[in-house]
Amino acid sequence: MAQTKSALNPSGIQLFKEGLSKLKEKFDGTQGEPYIVESNKFKALYFDSESTQSLMDMQSPIRLVVSYTETMMGFLLFNADPKRIAMIGLGGGSLAKYCHHYLPDSSIVVMENNPKVIALKGKFHVPENSVHFQVLEADGAAYLRGADEKFDVLLVDGYTKLGQAAQLCSEDFYASCLACLNPNGVLVINFSGAAGLNQVYQERIDRIFEHPSVLVMEDDRMNQILFVCNGAALDISSEELLRQSSRLSKVHDIHLPRTAQNFLSTRKNSLI
């Protein structure tokens, strides 16, 4: 089932960014309204020309292009066959498309509070709603507070032009996340911004969850991905985690071995 390699061509990305910078004056000042920029290779979703909300390979729309999305898929190391997945933040639908394609037995619900982002989902090949796949116009924090259903995996990647939404980094929100997770359910959060604030968010999470979180730094130093579990699944032995990453790499053409190594390195340092 694996498609093409997900490593990004640095020169291709650089050329794309240089072309994008020429559009800065035209698009900035749109007050956070999403817009699409295309090249021959990529299609990107932006709120402004300073930060990419989503990036899609035009020739391989399901491929995960941006490194941090591959790391977020690291939940597979702890649950390779989740039955119910919830996501907060649609963007260009990279994670939603990947899970829909590679985890066909999973029920997936995606919460996105910006109807203008949802209106663009067809441009990014996001599947239509069905029995097992739904994109809802909803505030993720409010949805979880009132939710009765439980999830095996919860992915949080909710950003606006101003950064991470405030309602997605409070202790009340993290408590709602815990309440919505099945036993050994995994919460994965993309943090992009000041490392000091990310540490504050991690401390809030660790006050809520019984088991400690692990905050993995992306190689590009732009994002940190937090993993935490409603149970002891993250306590998996190093040997078994590496074996799992090797097994999964036969199906998932993403950097799971690297994610496993980064996870183990961070977990080891946190114990020192």
In this structure, what CATH number is given to the domain that contains residue 116?
Answer: 3.40.50.150
Please give the pLDDT value at position 25: 47
Number of structural domains in the chain: 2
Average pLDDT rounded to a whole number, residues 250-256:
95
Please give the pLDDT value at position 221: 75
- 34 shares its domain with 89: no
Per 3-state DSSP, what percentage of the chain is helix, strand, and coil (rounded to 5)?
40, 25, 35
- Kindly report, residue by residue over 97-148, the tens digit of the pLDDT: 999 999 999 999 999 999 999 999 999 999 999 999 999 999 999 999 989 9
Give the model's confidence band at 15: pLDDT under 50 very low, under 70 low, under 90 confident, else very high. low
Instruction: Give DSSP secondary structure letters for 149-165.
Output: --EEEEEE--EETTEE-
Whether residue 3 is contained in a domain is answered as: no
- 108-131: b or e for each residue (b if 16 or more CB lie within 10 Å)? bbbbbbbeebbebbeebebbeeee
- Kindly report, residue by residue over 73-105, the tens digit of the pLDDT: 999 999 999 999 999 999 999 999 999 999 999
From start to end of 4-92, where are the E strands? 35-38, 42-48, 51-57, 84-88
Average pLDDT rounded to a whole number, residues 36-52:
83
- 52 shares its domain with 78: no
Q: What percent of the chain lies above the pLDDT cut of 70?
A: 84
Whether residue 118 is contained in a domain is answered as: yes
Please give the pLDDT value at position 29: 44
Average pLDDT rounded to a whole number, residues 246-260:
95
Average pLDDT rounded to a whole number, residues 225-238:
97
Whether residue 136 is contained in a domain is answered as: yes
- 86 shares its domain with 217: yes
- 105 shares its domain with 230: yes
Domain with 47 in it? 10-57
Query: Catalytic: 157?
Result: yes
- Kindly report, residue by residue over 156-209, the tens digit of the pLDDT: 998 765 667 788 999 999 999 999 999 999 999 999 876 778 899 999 999 999
Please give the pLDDT value at position 7: 43
Angle between helix 238-248 and helix 256-271 axes, rounded to 10 deg: 160
Of the residues 105, 157, 206, 219, which is catalytic? 157
- 143 shares its domain with 38: no
Average pLDDT rounded to a whole number, residues 34-61:
86
Q: Kindly tell me if the per-residue pLDDT of 260 is higher than 70.
A: yes
